[in-house]
A and B are shown apart, each in its own frame.
Chain A
């Protein structure tokens, strides 16, 4: 498994001292951004009255912290190269809607998770994995946030109980792309977005 790197083997422990400091500082920065965004979302979840209001309020926060372009690209896979720029834009737009819906569907208005952060890890320079434990509605979930540095730190994958959001969609997009290329992927996306609401 390419991306499942145990904490002990994280680059952080193998770098020479001055680079370790830099990597540690980067991890700090990533953690700060994540905590800030999570706190904002939790606050909104606490105060919200209904689901629609919750979605509207949470969206700007998620737009800032999630890197939808990278997520779409990785979810589509190598076939992304065969997308025209227009198709790429549309794919990112539709995928954004799906992810926002998936994320906000988890929240019930008035209920909010309590998140504990565990030591984070930097599998390579420019990437950070932050494991957390979320206590929500009485159940504990392991959630790992994978963040990339593209300008600022942004989330590029959320792994809940071992299930990666991007990997999940990758499996589905692969099947669509194999059948009909970029158009099939876009058609499937449009259908999904239209179906749900």
Chain B
């Protein structure tokens, strides 16, 4: 009895702690974008976002930027705010209160990628030719249909839900179980943006929360972590573990799925962190910008193409 109580208390404490972290992080987003001590006040009061005042201030600042280009020697002058220097201040900010922990996990992941996952990915590329890799990728991508369908419905995008269903049917039937992505040749069914549970939460207005670097999986915001759990629950591969329990089946189903996305994830990781000053910050910045863009594409409502890199 006391064990059960202790378990319940610790779980509640954990949830409260997560909630506290989430709320605290939301309350002070400006802290992480205003990093210059000189212009803290200016950054905080600079309007951000897409309101008319923000656009007007951007236009004004850009005009001033072109004027002060030549006269950069006038440094000491009135410098409260931007003469075009601070344009990128709030581009890629996310609360990062557990940065020391994140950095350690990031270092661990980096070694893992470098010494294990990248060689595996290269071996995979050597053993399997491109068309075979594409075929395998397409099969598992097709299988992720329930996740995309449910999320499109939850986002009230019934048109895209219909498109996804059409894609699934066409690719499974005409594409022999999903191997050939026949739907790409049908204009009405191609170019449907990818979606996942994390983006559904974004559309519902839930804030990203704090930045967490998970071992092996990599960086996720708190919102996307919960989203990842949702995607896991919606994946037929997960369901199959319950239908066919046993270690052999687990390996059989996860190995191709993990290795097929490994290549893309490794090259995305390299693109973000190679030639960077601080790979941890480079990855964090790339991650949050990419997710912000993916969330925005949902709001804009204009269907674009499926992009492998806008992954969770």
Interface residues, chain A, CB within 8 Å of chain B? 1-6, 9, 11, 73-82, 98, 101-102, 105-106, 123-127, 133, 138-142, 150, 160-164, 166-178, 188-189, 191-192, 196
Would you call B37 an interface residue if the criterion is a C-beta within 8 Å of the partner chain's C-beta atoms? yes
- Which single member of B63, B275, B277 contacts A124 (CB below 8 Å)? B63
Task: Give complex CA distance A125, B62 in Å.
Answer: 9
Which of A139, A162, A174 contacts B35, CB < 8 Å? Answer: A174
Q: Most chain-B Cβ atoms within 10 A of its Cβ — which of A77, A140, A141?
A: A77
Pick from B49, B75, B87, B277: contact of A192, CB under 8 Å: B277
Task: Name B residues whose Cβ lies closer than 8 Å to a Cβ of A.
Answer: 35-39, 46, 48-50, 54-55, 58-59, 62-63, 66, 69, 75, 79, 82, 84-92, 130, 134, 264, 271-272, 274-278, 281-282, 284-286, 289-290, 292-294, 296, 300, 304-310
Question: B37 to chain A: which residues have CB within 8 Å?
Answer: 178
> What's the least CB distance linking A72 to chain B, in Å?
11
Decide: A161 and B85 in contact? CB cutoff 8 A. Answer: no
Tell me, in angstroms, the Cα distance from A88 to B304 when the chains sit together: 40
* B282/A168 in contact, CB under 8 A: yes
B85 near A81: Cβ-Cβ < 8 Å = yes
Inter-chain contact A3/B87, CB cutoff 8 Å: yes
Q: Are B91 and A3 in contact (CB under 8 A)?
A: yes
Q: Provided the pairs A164-B289, A171-B281, A175-B281 are in contact, do residues A2 and B48 lie with their beta carbons within 8 angstroms?
A: yes
Q: A3 and B289: CB pair below 8 A?
A: no
- Chain A residue at minimum C-beta to C-beta distance from B38: A78
Given the interface pairs A124-B62, A171-B285, the reply to whether A162 lies near B292 with Cβ below 8 Å is yes
CB distance from A34 to the nearest CB of B (A): 20
Given A78-B36, A138-B130, residue A1 in contact with residue B91 (CB < 8 A): yes
With A124-B63, A140-B305 in contact, is A161–B50 under 8 Å at CB? no
Which 3 A/B pairs are nearest by Cβ-Cβ distance?
Answer: A162-B293, A167-B91, A171-B285
From A5, A98, A177, contact of B50 by CB (8 A): A5
* A178 / chain B contacts, CB cutoff of 8 Å: 35-37
Query: In the docked arrangement, what's the CA distance between A78 and B89, Å?
Result: 9
Q: What is the chain A residue whose CB lies nearest that of B268?
A: A161
Q: Do residues A170 and B66 form an inter-chain contact, with CB atoms below 8 A? A: no
Q: Is the CB of B62 within 8 A of A102?
A: no
Chain B residues, Cβ within 8 Å of A123: 58-59, 62
A155 to B275, CA, bound (A): 20
Return chain B residues, CB-CB under 8 Å to A163.
Answer: 272, 285-286, 289-290, 293
Extra contacts, 15 of them, besides A75-B88, A170-B89 (Cβ < 8 A), are A1-B49, A2-B54, A4-B296, A74-B85, A77-B88, A105-B271, A126-B62, A140-B307, A141-B307, A160-B271, A162-B310, A163-B272, A167-B285, A174-B36, A178-B37
